[in-house]
Structure 1
Amino acid sequence: MTGSRWATVRSGRLAVGTAPLAGLYEPVSAAAAADTLEAAWAGGVRLFDTAPHYGAGLAERRLGEFLRGRSRDGYTVVTKVGRLLVPGRAAHDEEGFVGGPSDLVRVRDYSADGVRRSLEESLTRLGLDRVDVALIHDPDDHWDEAVAGAFPALARLRDEGVVRAIGAGMNQSAMLARFVRETDVDVVLVAGRYTLLDREAAAELLPLCAERGVGVLVGGAFNSGILADPNPGARFNYAPADPAVLGRARAMQRLCAAYGLPLAAAALQFPLRHPAVSAVVAGVRSAAEIREDLALLEVPVPEELWAALNDL
């Protein structure tokens, strides 16, 4: 059952991650966001990943505005549940988002009622009558509530046709593997844990997904930027990279350069080499970035380079 459900949803090797379009680390204008999405569409991208958390609803609104008037069967939208947006004023920008609404705060809620409310509000912001995929977002400290409340609620919504596939999205692989073992998820999104620098997901999560026919989306292929540009000050997993990690990334960059290739090409293509991985989710903030990512996916990478990178 699970594998067949995901097979009806999967939509290309590259997904646009909309967090940067909602002001992750720096503001992005509405015009620049629209241009980015237009460039992705022109490049053949039809898979879009968003969440209420991204810019306190800004990412969903911008994506919805872009998709308005396009054939509903012509694209795939992934959104998330687990954070409700409620009236209030945050003391500071949450997790690096700037430029979003200042009168909403995020409240964790993995209850069944919270899931239904979250999805209803997401559909309103997106201007859609359904989403294709709904993921439980970052339930790291909320397993009991997520498995008792959020998952059964999503399963009912799947049965009702409000969503086509369900799962979880996290920055760790251990709990995602637990979801795969203990629930009937269709897909998982693992961010930053299957990259050239961090292969945590390869130990258990990816083999388990392959065995059970669960789709895998991989986010954070550049590990917050260090695998795109490993210069001093680069970020790794949302924080400044320590010298050891920076040294590994720079060694990989030199190795790729010896083959006449950019490190970013190997970083973006690496997750797709695993048979369990359906697509990579690339967070982009400009039309130039999405065009570059599309070009990077087409750069030929020789097998001997992959073997050499595995040794670093």
Structure 2
Amino acid sequence: MNSADPYRSNRADLPRYLEQVPLGRSGVTVGRLGLGTAPLAGLFSAVGADQAAATLDAAWSAGIRYFDTAPHYGAGLAERRLGAFLTGPGHPRTEYTVSTKVGRLLVAGDAAPGDEAFQVDEGLVRVRDYSSAGVYRSLAESLERTGLDAFDTVLIHDPDDHWEEAVREAYPALARLRSEGAVRAIGAGMNQTAMLTRFVRETDLDCVLVAGRYSLLDRTAADELLPLCAERQVGVLVGGVFNSGVLADPAPGATYDYAPAPEAVLRRAQALAERCAAHGVPLAAAALQFPYRHPAVTSVVVGARSPREIAENVDHATREVPPELWDELDALGTDEA
């Protein structure tokens, strides 16, 4: 750690998103605001190489030092772009942390246009593999794609229909890598809470990444997962704070969980936006800051596809949200009617 770097300091005069905080009991520290790299790999719409590099540069200039990626994102494209940036000049390895994921191997094949919502043509298809051998292969290939010497954190990615293989093979493989010092922190990342709760209860994870299940529209993570993580000192990374778009802009045609938002969800999001507007606060600012209110939450991971979106995320992270607005949003957020 470079103590002269102000972004590594927790001085009271720094914006909260620049704080570096412990990730559970792992010894890893992460920024309170992390950058998710899925949009840089063509999620929903293509992003050129120059724009991706400019976005990463804008994030670095804004003080963001935690980056989350995965082989799944653009069939390896996100890892390659992130690695090319971080291994370039001016980015000392001691000044940032990176998480990637295992569970999907990339093999040669023809993917359909827009495969799994990514608008790229990498000549690769994803194959689910949560075996021990799959974990080792996935990490080796991720290291090769990024050019990094190691990852700080590795997450088991979306094992929804693969619990047995994930808990009996992927998790022990990661635990061995952690004990050997090859990986500093291990966890699981999913769009659901039930299996993440089971992971925390039955294994020795350092962290979880819960996407879309702790937001202004969906607070299910607060029922069991977040209290259990607090009890076990497991770090919580929150992604999907905009529920894939509807909480950034609840206009007709907005997406919710990567599909067109149902009319009832759209109405609720618009009601939340109206309350925010009455207080002069963008809905996206409240959506981004909402998870920080829970003491179990370590970091919020937000994607961006342009320098403009980086600037917007930083603005949203630093907006003042009055307590009375939180009260009004809480009332709407718990009303499922």
TM-score range (shorter-chain normalised) is over 0.9
Equivalence for 2:62: 43
Equivalence for 2:11: none
Instruction: Tell me how far apart the structure 1 counterparts of residues 137 and 158 of structure 2 sit (CA, whole Å).
Output: 17
Q: 8 Å contact 2:111–2:121 — kept in the other structure?
A: no
Instruction: Tell me how far apart the structure 1 counterparts of residues 68 and 115 of structure 2 sit (CA, whole Å).
Output: 19
In structure 1, give the amino acid aligned to 2:212: G
Instruction: Tell me how far apart the structure 1 counterparts of residues 28 and 98 of structure 2 sit (CA, whole Å).
Output: 10
Equivalence for 2:48: 29
SS at match of 2:318: coil
Q: 8 Å contact 1:22–1:100 — kept in the other structure?
A: no
Equivalence for 2:115: 94
Instruction: Tell me how far apart the structure 2 counterparts of residues 94 and 200 of structure 1 sit (CA, whole Å).
Output: 29
In the TM superposition, 1:1-312 aligns within 5 A as: 3-5=24-26, 8-69=27-88, 70-101=91-122, 103-312=123-332
Give the deviation of 1:94 after TM superposition: 2.0
Instruction: Tell me how far apart the structure 2 counterparts of residues 96 and 270 of structure 1 sit (CA, whole Å).
Output: 26
SS at match of 2:289: helix
Identity percentage over the alignment? 68
- Residue ranges of structure 2 left out of the alignment (5+ in a row): 1-22, 333-337
TM-score of the superposition, structure 2-length normalised? Answer: 0.90
Equivalence for 2:8: none
Q: 8 Å contact 2:157–2:188 — kept in the other structure?
A: yes
Q: 8 Å contact 2:150–2:183 — kept in the other structure?
A: yes
In structure 2, give the amino acid aligned to 1:288: R
If asked which structure has higher relative contact order (CA below 8 Å, sep 6+), I would say: 1
For residues 43-75 of structure 1, give each alpha carbon's deviation from its aligned partner in whole angstroms, at most 9, with x where no partner exists: 000000100000000000000000014211110
Give the deviation of 1:195 after TM superposition: 0.1
Aligned length: 308
SS at match of 1:210: helix
Give the deviation of 1:11 after TM superposition: 1.6
Instruction: Tell me how far apart the structure 2 counterparts of residues 100 and 279 of structure 1 sit (CA, whole Å).
Output: 32
SS at match of 1:209: helix
Instruction: Tell me how far apart the structure 1 counterparts of residues 188 and 141 of structure 2 sit (CA, whole Å).
Output: 19
TM-score of the superposition, structure 1-length normalised? Answer: 0.97
SS at match of 1:11: strand
Moved over 4 A (4+): none
Instruction: Tell me how far apart the structure 2 counterparts of residues 129 and 260 of structure 1 sit (CA, whole Å).
Output: 46
In structure 1, give the amino acid aligned to 2:106: L
Q: 8 Å contact 1:84–1:106 — kept in the other structure?
A: yes
Segment drifting more, 171-180 vs 63-72:
63-72
- Residue ranges of structure 1 left out of the alignment (5+ in a row): none
Instruction: Tell me how far apart the structure 2 counterparts of residues 279 and 301 of structure 1 sit (CA, whole Å).
Output: 18
For residues 177-236 of structure 1, give each alpha carbon's deviation from its aligned partner in whole angstroms, at most 9, with x where no partner exists: 000000000000000000000001010000000000000000000011111100000001
Instruction: Tell me how far apart the structure 2 counterparts of residues 307 and 127 of structure 1 sit (CA, whole Å).
Output: 46
